[in-house]
Structure 1
Amino acid sequence: MDPRTRLSEAARHRGSSLAALSRMIGRNPTYLQQYITKGSPRKLEEEDRRKLAQFLGLDESELGGPSEVVPATGSDWVEVSRLNIDASAGPGAMHHVEEAFDSFRFSRRWLAEQGLEGAKLSAIRVVGDSMEPLLREGDEVLVDLREQPFRDGVYVVRLDDTLLVKRLASQGGGRFSLLSQNLAYPPISANAEDFAIIGRVVWKGGRV
């Protein structure tokens, strides 16, 4: 994706105006607007790029910086796709086509230590606040997509064509509770046939 488009989308998602971001990096309020719409400057200064990437939770390569490639050694590493879909910890996110735009690299040994050796894994982003403080907006979660016996835990589920990340608990008799960590959100009660389990959340990553 073009760095200008990526910056515009990230600012909009964060709820930050381009003027505010311009002031944050010590520039005049129209600096980033001109960069995005007029192509001036042609590229961001290194220090400006670093500050923006850090604030917006982006890799600098997404804003035009150099890509840093770490070579894998043999079979010591496992590539896990980052998908361009969101799992909502809020009112619900529409489920679109799952396309990988990047990947995480996990140590095969670490995965084995977590009981995830041989797991079918994908990483997706959390939006909304219903799972706070456990999961915050912008966190990325590692989802184990294997079919396995159900046990209570945090899952990504599809309900009414939306993706949700919720704590799932069996009520017995084929009914389940979809629970939010944030008590401001009431539990959702659903029959097993009303939703589909996409996978179990087994790890999270996010900014401190």
Structure 2
Amino acid sequence: MPNPSFDNPASDPRGRLLQLAEERDASLSSLSAFIGRNASYLQQFIRKGSPKKLEEGDRRKLAEFFGVHESELGGAEEKSYASFAPLWDDDFIAVPRLPVSVAAGPGQFAAGETPFDNFGFSGRWLRDNGLDPKMLSAVTVEGDSMEPLLRAGDEVLVDRTPRPFRDGVHVVRMGDTLLIKRIASPGKGRLTLLSQNLSYPPVEVSMDEVEIIGRVVWKSGRI
């Protein structure tokens, strides 16, 4: 196999590696030892094209050593933040954000339920998680009883799909009050409403005292 051309080292992973090694005054044998290979490994890679490309672990170590992105040594191209802009196509689903607060504290009366905005979710992500967009809505957490799992101002995605009950974080209605709690079933027609914040004691109720609105399946919040 002919040796690669090094007329433009930056355009070729082998040429770029050779250029970086020369700039650092590092021998190929010492770099081979650095990544745990035999002394001729990188010499073979550069001069004979064997292997055809560096393995991911070797490439990462060398990129970190030289302080460059892996794309310069044959990895995936580095993407700018603009590359991650949402693609608003038919597979992005608008999930309604409701002007409703669910209490993670003493209790909060529900407001109106007309959406004021939407969250855009990948349709594929929703399908992969078994979620039906028509049964989803986002509401806001108030209070501190679910800290540190959920904090005041976080928004949570509630799945209202009827399913057999299982323990987890749910939004429930007690009278006119919406609560967000971890719910466990001790049996005998009873439910236990649990707070993450241990300052709040568990509350045990009968099943006919609460209406389970839906299960919390996702959260968002500021860091």
* TM-score, scaled to structure 2: 0.60
Find out whether 1:200 has 2:215 as its counterpart: yes
Pick one of 173, 186, 205 that aligns with 1:158: 173
Pick one of 96, 120, 130 that aligns with 1:105: 120
Could you tell me which amino acid in structure 1 is paired with residue 130 of structure 2? G
Partner of 1:130: 145
**Pairs aligned (count):** 139
Distance 1:177 1:155 in 2: 12
- Can you list the C-alpha shifts for 1:11-31, whole angstroms capped at 9, x where unaligned? xxxxxxxxxxxxxxxxxxxxx
**Aligned ranges 1:1-208 → 2 under 5 Å:** 72-74=88-90, 76-117=91-132, 120-208=135-223
Residue aligned with 2:208, SS: helix
Q: Which runs of 4+ in 1 moved over 4 A?
A: none
Distance 2:133 2:95 in 1: 12
Distance 2:199 2:108 in 1: 19
- The 1:137/1:97 distance shift into structure 2, 3 A limit, reads same
Q: What's the offset of the Cα at 1:112?
A: 1.8
- The 1:189/1:167 distance shift into structure 2, 3 A limit, reads same
- Can you list the C-alpha shifts for 1:20-79, whole angstroms capped at 9, x where unaligned? xxxxxxxxxxxxxxxxxxxxxxxxxxxxxxxxxxxxxxxxxxxxxxxxxx77312x1111
* TM-score, scaled to structure 1: 0.64
Distance 1:71 1:154 in 2: 31
Could you tell me which amino acid in structure 2 is paired with residue 107 of structure 1? S
Structure of larger gyration radius: 2
Structure 1 residue runs without a partner (length 5+): 1-69
Q: How many percent of aligned residue pairs carry the same amino acid?
A: 57
Could you tell me which amino acid in structure 2 is paired with residue 129 of structure 1? D
Residue aligned with 2:197, SS: coil
Residue range with higher mean Cα deviation, 89-98 or 110-119: 110-119
Is the Cα–Cα contact under 8 Å of residues 93 and 133 in structure 2 kept in the other structure? no
Residue aligned with 1:91, SS: coil
Is the Cα–Cα contact under 8 Å of residues 145 and 198 in structure 1 kept in the other structure? yes
Q: What's the offset of the Cα at 1:159?
A: 1.1
Q: CA RMSD in A?
A: 1.6
Partner of 1:13: none
Partner of 2:5: none
Distance 1:135 1:121 in 2: 19
Distance 2:168 2:134 in 1: 17
Structure 2 residue runs without a partner (length 5+): 1-85
Distance 1:119 1:192 in 2: 26
- Can you list the C-alpha shifts for 1:161-204, whole angstroms capped at 9, x where unaligned? 11000000001011000000000001111000001001000000
Residue aligned with 2:116, SS: strand
